[in-house]
Amino acid sequence: MKIGIIGSGGIGQAFAGHVLKAGYEVIISNSRGADSLADLVKQLGGKVRAGSIVEAVACDVIFLAVQWIHLPTVAKQISNWTNKIVIDPINPVVPPDYKMAELNGRASSEIVQEMLAGSKLVKAFNTFTPQLLGSSPEEANGKRVIFYCGDDASAKAIVKNLIDKIGFAGVDTGTLKEGAHLQQYPSGPLPGLNLIKL
């Protein structure tokens, strides 16, 4: 399975470290183009190469690690999101003060799903800082819990399998509507909760 990462900041890099360690093939992309990622690619090692957003989206699973405000730009750069399995670690916060965006009662991932029309969205990996997400998934003889939710059962199963393979313990929080409300920062109760499954 090939993984495409859009966004090479703290969260994109932390996720890349785990999937590369597990032996996955990765294409990583950002807004500035592949040349800007040369040092990062060297630093990450493993089966990674820098690419365009289009190349990242052509992978089997896409990890969309961009800020909420950049989401509309990324969504429009790809003409067809149909059947793409997309992991959404996005928290709906807006710079400069990173207060919550106005969502009119909806979960942020419901809006992401609408923007990436036809995609199979799974919200996951959004509840930790990059430092904690990048650290070992094993602690106190157990596995760190990663919450995930979504509406497509097959996409959820693929993401659950990926979570297992990279050494975390996946906990299903339900549909996008149910789970994303629980998972999203700053309004949900799960961000920052560092659970270990024994």
Residues found near ligand NAP in the complex (CB under 6 A): 6-12, 29-32, 53, 65-68, 70, 73-74, 89-91, 93, 126, 129-130
Give the three-state DSSP class for 58: coil
- Indicate the residue among 24 and 183 with the shorter CB distance to ligand NAP: 183
- Indicate the residue among 148 and 154 with the shorter CB distance to ligand NAP: 148
Residue 88 tokens read as 């959404």
- Indicate the residue among 36 and 154 with the shorter CB distance to ligand NAP: 36
Q: Work out the angle between the directed axes of helices 176-183 and 108-115 (0-180°, nearest 10).
A: 130
The CB-nearest residue to ligand NAP is 9
Q: How far is C-alpha 6 from the geometric centre of its chain's CA atoms?
A: 9
Using CA atoms, how far apart are residues 62 and 65, in angstroms rounded to an integer? 9
Q: For 129, list phi and psi in degrees, rounded to 5.
A: -70, 160
Number of Cβ within a 10 Å radius of residue 123: 29
CB of 168 to ligand NAP, least distance (A): 15
CB of 82 to ligand NAP, least distance (A): 20
- Indicate the residue among 129 and 154 with the shorter CB distance to ligand NAP: 129
CB of 14 to ligand NAP, least distance (A): 8
Amino acid at 23: G
CB of 134 to ligand NAP, least distance (A): 11
